[in-house]
Structure 1
């Protein structure tokens, strides 16, 4: 069998995307969802593998800008739409696409590749490490009370049609991006993603709804959500499903959460993706009745190691030699001296002895500050070669706030 790996041609998109749908269960997406991904797909950055005239592999890469510790927003390839036909598994197709894709990303001058994984076990062998996590919760709002800080009552709330509120929501979101690593600065067209609301995906719930939080005529917070009314013999037991929210200060933040807790006829608030350090956890009266769950979020791969390490800042002074193993992108393999602090960093090859030894996967996991190098060392994945180097580097690589990816791609 011979296959042809090539850049996607515009006329091939329908067939190519149909293979992706088939690989992910064979259920066709709603027309408005398919139209959105058609519009967002960057053909020149997408790959297809063809067996004759049949597409048997897909992979794409969005041109993103990702926030990193220190507030910079840097180029990153958003790896997406990866699939291999079930008839062509275990033939090296995925490896060939990952090889070509990372070579392309390096040639494009983008220091990072990032992805969300349908199955987390797949991408570690290609150098991706889990760099962010997302918090899920199902809160019993009948039994959990919410305390709010001073100033919350000064925030006015207003229900607005989601499409009409989009610009105000996006303005709040844009101000939040540099404050938390892992967030994506939304390019034109991506403001449509939070509004995507196919009726077939509502699961018996309402259409998407939006509330704006305002102070002195300025939008300072928002939430996009839906409701699912249900009843039992004792009365209503509906569910609020939070899709997306943001706020610019503690009072606005609390006002939005208080609104979500208090919607009439609802007794459960489902939270599907929030930062693991989300402040609402300090406002609730009973954290046990919030049914918390954490899972992986953004997977990060350093493609140009020195450029990536120089793009972020470090929360404590660090001067450390990293011995890095990267079998898949060998240009990253070797010893690198990283020197940095809160103002910036340099990273260059060195012949000096190593202070820490690790693979590029562990470096990707620690890159945004959400995974501790010390924790990875405890698992035997980072080796300390100079006493004291692990504590120094682990502190420096950290972030004051947990990194977080607000939405998939």
Structure 2
């Protein structure tokens, strides 16, 4: 039977989402989690592939505003909820959904597409490159101390629930969005994700808690965390599980980290998905004892090369011609001249000789400033055609702060 790809009708959501749950292991989500994702679903941007009355493929997109180097918030399609039923593999279903999504994003005027990948190797062939990384670590409190900046004692702290602190924490989050590439401006409804805390997902930890940092009557930071009790023969061996930390200045952030590293009856602080240049690494006395590890998080694709490269700024003057390969979105193929600096940029078609040759995947990886074109060239994925062009472009594309995705979707 021939399959049909169509926009999702709200009446089909339960069957459609059930296919997604099965593809990700078949364990039903908690009712509150399922309810949140239904409420956030943008039905006109959600696709289903149907074999008769049976849904065999799912894909969706969220309407995001993504911070890019220079601080601008750029419309981006957040690709999500992608799955293909195991009974219908190798029939081109995934390719058809990726094709339709990118065509729709282009028609909507969104020059960027982003996603997080359960299996990273899948999306490279559709032009997505790994654009942000995150650090994970476990601070061993028995062997590591913190050195905090002057003024930390002037910050007062108050523990409350995430729900009671929601207005204050969202205000802090909103003030941090423009300061780091890769961050997402929260649209209505997305603040509920920070409150999602199903008991079945806690792995023995407490309900989530929130600590607010206050200075002069103003909330200047917050952290969401949980406590996982544990005991050994020698005594308490619990963990603080850190979910979110945000401070409006170094002192506020240091006060939060000091608190998290001093919770009673705990010996470890488990840090998940933090920026690779996060301040805690410079507060601890021995980063080796924290066992930091890296993982790629956000994958990015340029839907419209010219518009995307014009949407960000560049930390050094650049004038370079790219020869771009993009078989999946052929409107991006060819030569593009990028001229720009910290004030703005212009990128347009050109017939001038190319300075660098690369695919749209490499442009996506380098776009937010977290992956250098020089490192991609060392792997053979960027070719320098004019001497000096590689370093010029690599420096310009960089970012003074590492890009970071604050939460999944």
Query: TM over 0.5: same fold?
Result: yes
Equivalent in the alignment of 1:353: 353
Equivalent in the alignment of 2:242: 242
Equivalent-residue separation in structure 1 for 2:356 and 2:70 (angstroms): 23
Equivalent in the alignment of 1:104: 104
SS in 2 for 1:377: helix
Equivalent in the alignment of 2:49: 49
- Superposed CA offset, 1:242-299 (max 9, x none): 0111000010010000000000001111111100000110111111110111001100
Q: After superposition, where does 1:181-260 map in structure 2 within 5 Å?
A: 181-260=181-260
Equivalent-residue separation in structure 1 for 2:387 and 2:134 (angstroms): 33
SS in 1 for 2:163: helix
SS in 2 for 1:163: coil
- Superposed CA offset, 1:2-44 (max 9, x none): 1000000010000000000000000000000000000000000
SS in 1 for 2:183: coil
Equivalent in the alignment of 1:396: 396
Give the root-mean-square deviation of aligned CA atoms: 0.5
Equivalent-residue separation in structure 1 for 2:327 and 2:273 (angstroms): 33
Equivalent-residue separation in structure 2 for 1:176 and 1:276 (angstroms): 16
Q: After superposition, where does 1:167-178 map in structure 2 within 5 Å?
A: 167-178=167-178
Moved >6 Å (runs of 4+): none
SS in 1 for 2:134: strand
Equivalent in the alignment of 1:26: 26
Equivalent-residue separation in structure 2 for 1:161 and 1:173 (angstroms): 16
Equivalent-residue separation in structure 1 for 2:140 and 2:321 (angstroms): 49
1:161 Cα deviation from its structure 2 partner:
1.4
1:143 Cα deviation from its structure 2 partner:
1.1
Equivalent-residue separation in structure 2 for 1:244 and 1:111 (angstroms): 29
Equivalent in the alignment of 1:265: 265
Gaps of 5+ in 1: none
SS in 2 for 1:15: helix
Equivalent-residue separation in structure 2 for 1:44 and 1:231 (angstroms): 51
- Superposed CA offset, 1:338-369 (max 9, x none): 00000000000000000000000000000000
Equivalent in the alignment of 2:342: 342
1:194 Cα deviation from its structure 2 partner:
1.1
Equivalent in the alignment of 1:379: 379
Equivalent-residue separation in structure 1 for 2:202 and 2:295 (angstroms): 23
1:156 Cα deviation from its structure 2 partner:
0.2
Equivalent in the alignment of 1:115: 115
Q: Determine whether 1:278 maps to 2:278.
A: yes
1:149 Cα deviation from its structure 2 partner:
0.2
SS in 2 for 1:225: strand
1:138 Cα deviation from its structure 2 partner:
1.0
Equivalent-residue separation in structure 1 for 2:229 and 2:251 (angstroms): 29
Equivalent-residue separation in structure 1 for 2:98 and 2:167 (angstroms): 36
1:139 Cα deviation from its structure 2 partner:
1.1
